[in-house]
A and B are shown apart, each in its own frame.
Chain A
Amino acid sequence: MSRKTTTAAAAACLTGVLALSACGGGGFSGGNNAPQATAKGPVKLTVMIGSSGDAETNAVKAATEAWAKKTGNTVEVIAASDLGQQLGQAFASTTPPDVFYTDASKVGTFAKAGNLYAYGDQVKDAGFLPALVKAFTYDNKFYCAPKDYSTLALEINPDLWTKAGLTDADIPKDWAGLEAVAKKLTSGKVTGLVIGNDINRSGAFIKQAGGWIVSEDGKTMTADSAPAKAGLAEVQKMMKDGVLKFSSDTSPATGWGGEALGKGVAAMTIEGNWISGAKKDFPDLKYKVVELPAGPAGKGTLLFSNCWGIAAKSQNQAQSVDLVKSLITTEQQMKFADAFGVMPSTEEGAKAFAAKFPDQQAFVAGGEYAQGPVNLPGFDEVMTKFNSQLATLGKGGDPNAWLAELQKNGTSAISD
């Protein structure tokens, strides 16, 4: 369930004049993205999803079934066991699935390789959160309709909180407050704050420090900027004080923040609303969700999302867009929210969600100031490399050197 976004992407085009001309020039960008001749009459659509479980699969099946009945088409839903790999193979075939989940971090990779049909213009009136539209915009094109989203917030174990003599007034509002409570909460086996060991958690601190690793327009790297350094320096500082640990460094080691909270080795963690999945493993788990503390540059959190991608090779693009339109209505998105706890991607839906699930208010609030993942092509290996270095922060090391390397590798990936 932990939707640790596999940081994505992939340089499809290699460098060199030949490759550049192929990618930049006409090639696929013209031909493939124009709506293709669409088959008339009833069609069969294939929808491939990366499902979190039966609840999600059944909900998607029910929703697509309803559309199929109304329009006289048929829809087959395939729950992939490894979505990324299965999509890669499907793109190589002549008949990829018509509609599929696309992670925000993969948009650039898929788009650059010419796998995605950019239909964003046809659905942009649905009232999506601006941050989501941005997350699925690559090269000034809004590619696909956001399916849902999640943001990071701070989860607190209320028992340990009261035991440490803390009250609601102590809920951290800034980094100093966070350090203070984490220190009070740390004792024995319990670490004040336990977070996942990659950029998808530590990155929130960078955002709070007022920066991000790529510029707003996605054209230049800003990984060696002052805010990026300040964000990681804060993580490192708390780590040196012993009040923050990566989940892989706790004893016993835990796979993610929810597990750390459930096993009682963490008093606080930073996760998205998928944290509720931890209740499956730890039925007694209690937590209180609050917004992340603000950094020197204000509030900041990270956003994760999937969209309904439509294949550039699909023969049924018009019907696919119609299907997607039926899936992104507020009513349908709230059904998904009820079934498997995701947050609707539209402003209206987010409000309805916050009203219905007041204890998840903090996640919805995060949508206002959240930063989406890097969605540039070729960034998969760049981020993998950086994450593997960042994961060793607990053993020492120089985050600024890693950021400098990230800057260098990212710059070369952008120019590829």
Chain B
Amino acid sequence: MASIDERPQDDVSASGARAGQVAAASAGTPTGPAGAPGARRAPRRSGSGIRGREGAAGWIFVAPMIVILGLFLVIPIGMALWVSFTNWQGNTNPFVVGQGTDVVGLKNYTDLFARDGLTRDNFMQSIGNTFYYVLLVVPLQTVLALALALLVNNTMLKGRSFFRTAFYFPSVTSSIAIATVFLFLFSNTGAVNAFLGFFGIDGPQWFSDSRGLLHLAFNAVGIDNPAWAQGEIFGRSLWDWLSGPSVAMFVIIFLVIWTTSGTFMLMFIAALQDLPVEIDEAAALDGTSRWQKLRHVTLPMIKPALFLVITLGLIGTWQVFDQIYVMGKGAPAGTTLSPAFLSYQQSFGNFRYGSGAAMAFVVFLIIVVLTRVQRYVLTDKDERKPFFRRGGRR
């Protein structure tokens, strides 16, 4: 977060400085400020004058963006942060303490972690659900997107543009529409179960099956709620944490991978098309196998794209909302709850805006930490910066 915020400023000051130099270079013209020659000899003193004015111009140029970002991003985030420390109920001015709004300090946050109750139960379940969701979606959609990109980037393939469009199609379709179609596909008598029935498999009742996939796997080897998994973490037993995504959640995972891999395929294609053909040919001359070429030539060169795809994937998946909203709102048995949906429900359904905002900020922190970890992992070993230093660009 910090580094992203700093970047525009760095660039602004850098370009500002460059503009200053340009201005100084042309300052020999008669129209230049009277003190300009002196300025060149003693940059420190009058440089502040010129640069200062240039800086002001710079600020004027970026002002519209700062105003827009401030108005629609920074200020609302600040307001939400304030709300997360109150018990605001949504019908008064949250910034006037006393009239239905009281500051409760960190209570909304501690309730999520430390207080035994439904709020913590739901929140922890939603975190568990989403953890498995992210764990499956991000790697699978990245791999699938890369595979599709390599496929349609292959010059030997006929009808490339057709396939490119076909693979991209789910991404440009409304997620609500796709989710609704999936409701039909995976209904008890839907196409999927009919297809499975063709092979004599009795398909599950997808959207009402709350059994976790890992639980099913454990059960298959004869383990069911064993003694070693009874310890409680944040009010949920270890066994519950180990449930894995439920069958219903699995459908959503499948849907999301299918929809988003098209988008990410496009990013990979863009990166792949940037690669110089010579390197490919050189690798071929060196007698690499296809796998070696992919592993040691192509992948390292599209690393920025990989970083982008995984980062966007991580951020997007932790915020999953619309599919959940359409496909069950947490049912069956809360196994498709996501923190984003829970936060919405808590705020607009239960009028507990403080608690809802607190959930949103916890998710925000999770995303920031995970992005940081992932950035650390993807950086080359010799370029790694200390893990917890802010910024890290200078």
Given contacts A14-B104, A388-B334, contact A88 B121 (CB under 8 A): no
Q: Is the CB of A313 within 8 A of B334?
A: no
Verify if A395 is at the interface (C-beta below 8 Å from B).
yes
Name the B residues within 8 Å of A89 (CB-CB): 348
Verify if B332 is at the interface (C-beta below 8 Å from A).
yes
Given contacts A14-B108, A18-B103, A91-B90, contact A113 B348 (CB under 8 A): no
Chain A 195-233 near chain B by CB (<8 Å), digits 1 or 0: 000000000000000000000000000000000000000
Stretch at the interface among B29-37, B266-274, B350-358: B350-358
Name the A residues within 8 Å of B347 (CB-CB): 88
The interface on chain A, measured as residues whose beta carbon lies within 8 A of the other chain's beta carbons, has a size of 47
Q: Which of A84, A113, A378, A412 has the most CB of B within 10 A?
A: A113
Q: Is the CB of A85 within 8 A of B348?
A: yes
Name the B residues within 8 Å of A391 (CB-CB): 208, 331-333
CA distance A105 to B167 in the complex (A): 46
Name the contact of A18 in the complex, choosing from B91, B104, B121, B209 (C-beta under 8 A): B104
By beta carbon, the residue of chain B nearest A402 is B333
Name the A residues within 8 Å of B117 (CB-CB): 409, 412
Stretch at the interface among A4-12, A36-44, A125-133, A152-160: A4-12
Verify if B54 is at the interface (C-beta below 8 Å from A).
no
CA distance A400 to B209 in the complex (A): 20
The interface on chain B, measured as residues whose beta carbon lies within 8 A of the other chain's beta carbons, has a size of 42
Q: Is the CB of B351 within 8 A of A409?
A: no
Name the B residues within 8 Å of A378 (CB-CB): 350
Chain B 18-43 near chain A by CB (<8 Å), digits 1 or 0: 00000000000000000000000000
Tell me the chain B residues, 102-130 only, with Cβ under 8 Å from chain A: 102-104, 107-108, 111, 117-119, 121-122
Name the B residues within 8 Å of A338 (CB-CB): none
CA distance A252 to B366 in the complex (A): 40
Q: Is the CB of B91 within 8 A of A91?
A: yes
Q: Which of B90, B99, B111, B189 has the most CB of A within 10 A?
A: B90
Verify if A278 is at the interface (C-beta below 8 Å from B).
no
Q: Which of A22, A109, A380, A391 has the most CB of B within 10 A?
A: A22
Given contacts A12-B352, A88-B90, contact A388 B333 (CB under 8 A): yes
Chain A 310-333 near chain B by CB (<8 Å), digits 1 or 0: 001100000000000000000000
Q: Which of A92, A378, A385 has the most CB of B within 10 A?
A: A92
Verify if A16 is at the interface (C-beta below 8 Å from B).
yes
Given contacts A92-B90, A113-B91, A391-B332, contact A18 B102 (CB under 8 A): yes
Given contacts A10-B351, A109-B350, contact A381 B333 (CB under 8 A): no
By beta carbon, the residue of chain A nearest B329 is A384
Q: Is the CB of B355 within 8 A of A14?
A: yes
Min C-beta distance of A92 to chain B, whole Å: 5
Verify if A145 is at the interface (C-beta below 8 Å from B).
no
Verify if A122 is at the interface (C-beta below 8 Å from B).
no
Chain A 7-29 near chain B by CB (<8 Å), digits 1 or 0: 00111111110110010000110
Name the A residues within 8 Å of B207 (CB-CB): 248, 253
Q: Is the CB of A413 within 8 A of B118?
A: yes
Q: Is the CB of A381 within 8 A of B350?
A: yes
Verify if A60 is at the interface (C-beta below 8 Å from B).
no
Q: Which of B117, B211, B345, B351 has the most CB of A within 10 A?
A: B351
Min C-beta distance of B35 to chain A, whole Å: 56
CA distance A395 to B248 in the complex (A): 14
Q: Is the CB of A113 within 8 A of B99?
A: no
Q: Is the CB of A113 within 8 A of B118?
A: no
Tell me the chain A residues, 20-67 only, with Cβ under 8 Å from chain B: 22, 27-28
CA distance A382 to B122 in the complex (A): 10
Verify if A2 is at the interface (C-beta below 8 Å from B).
no
Verify if A71 is at the interface (C-beta below 8 Å from B).
no
Q: Is the CB of A381 within 8 A of B331?
A: no
Q: Is the CB of B349 within 8 A of A10?
A: yes
Verify if A162 is at the interface (C-beta below 8 Å from B).
no
Q: Which of B346, B350, B355 has the most CB of A within 10 A?
A: B350
CA distance A384 to B102 in the complex (A): 27
Q: Is the CB of A412 within 8 A of B118?
A: yes
Verify if B323 is at the interface (C-beta below 8 Å from A).
no
Can you list 18 A-B contacts with CB-CB less than 8 angstroms, sorted by A residue number? A12-B87, A12-B90, A13-B89, A18-B87, A18-B103, A85-B349, A88-B347, A96-B91, A250-B188, A252-B189, A253-B187, A313-B91, A381-B345, A385-B121, A385-B122, A388-B330, A395-B210, A395-B211
Return the 6 tightest CB-CB contacts between A and B, nearest first: A10-B350, A252-B189, A12-B89, A91-B91, A253-B188, A113-B89
If A11-B350, A381-B122 are given as contacts, then 5 extra A-B residue pairs at C-beta distance below 8 Å, sorted by A number, are A10-B349, A12-B87, A85-B349, A384-B330, A409-B117
Residue positions of A touching B, CB distance < 8 A: 9-16, 18-19, 22, 27-28, 84-85, 88-89, 91-92, 96, 109, 113-115, 248-253, 312-313, 378, 380-382, 384-385, 388-389, 391-392, 394-395, 409, 412-413
